[in-house]
Structure 1
Amino acid sequence: MYEILSRVWGSGAPNFRDGWAVVLEAEWGSDEFARRHAEVAGLLSETIQQILALPEAQRVRYSRYFPQWWTAVVQPDLGWSDIGRPARVLVAQETLDHLASAADLLETAMRGSSAAPSGSNLEELAESCRSWLEILAEMPDSELGSSVRNEIVAQITHLLWLIEHAELFGVARVSREANVVVGSLTQASTMLTGVDAQSGGRWKRAFLNLVAASVVLTAGATQLQTAIEAGSGVVKEITQVVDGITAE
Structure 2
Amino acid sequence: MHEILSRVQASGARTFRDGWVEVLGADWGTDEFARRHAEVAALLSETIQQIFALPEAQRVRFSRYAPQWWTAVVQPDAGWSDTGRPARVLVAQETLDHLASAADVLEAVMRGTGSAPAGENLQSIAESCHSWLEILDQTSDAELPSALKSQIVAQITHLLWLIDHAELFGVARVSNETNQVLGSLTQATSLLTGVDAQVGGRWKRAFFGLLTASIVFTAGATQLQTAIEAGSSLAKEIVQVVDDVAVTAE
Q: TM-score with structure 1 length normalisation?
A: 0.96
Other structure's SS at 2:242 match:
coil
Query: Partners in 2 of 1:74 and 1:6 — Cα distance?
Result: 15
In structure 1, the residue matched to 2:238 is 241
What does 1:96-115 correspond to in 2, within 5 Å?
A: 96-115=96-115
In structure 2, the residue matched to 1:169 is 169
In structure 1, the residue matched to 2:59 is 59
Query: Partners in 1 of 2:210 and 2:202 — Cα distance?
Result: 12
Deviates more, 1:217-226 or 1:134-143: 217-226
1:207 paired to 2:207 = yes
Compute the displacement of 1:221 (Å): 3.6
Other structure's SS at 2:116 match:
coil
Distance 1:18 1:228, change over 3 A: closer
Compute the displacement of 1:77 (Å): 0.4
In structure 2, the residue matched to 1:160 is 160
1:85 paired to 2:82 = no
Query: Partners in 2 of 1:148 and 1:42 — Cα distance?
Result: 23
Query: Partners in 1 of 2:215 and 2:191 — Cα distance?
Result: 24
Distance 1:143 1:211, change over 3 A: same
Compute the displacement of 1:244 (Å): 2.1
In structure 2, the residue matched to 1:11 is 11
In structure 2, the residue matched to 1:71 is 71
Query: Partners in 1 of 2:168 and 2:74 — Cα distance?
Result: 18
1:187-233 Cα deviation digits (max 9, x unpaired):
1111111110110011011111101111111002443422444xxx4
Q: CA RMSD in A?
A: 1.2
Compute the displacement of 1:239 (Å): 2.2
1:143-189 Cα deviation digits (max 9, x unpaired):
11101101100100000000000000001110110011011111111
In structure 1, the residue matched to 2:188 is 188
Letter in 1 for 2:63: S
- Contact 2:215–2:227 (8 Å) recurs in 1: no
Q: Structure 2: where are the runs of 5+ without partners?
A: none
In structure 1, the residue matched to 2:24 is 24
Letter in 2 for 1:96: L
Give the aligned length.
245
Letter in 2 for 1:137: D
Other structure's SS at 2:45 match:
helix
Work out the percentage of aligned pairs sharing the same amino acid. Answer: 72
- Contact 1:212–1:224 (8 Å) recurs in 2: no
Deviates more, 1:185-194 or 1:98-107: 185-194
In structure 1, the residue matched to 2:124 is 124
Query: Partners in 2 of 1:41 and 1:210 — Cα distance?
Result: 26
Query: Partners in 1 of 2:177 and 2:196 — Cα distance?
Result: 30
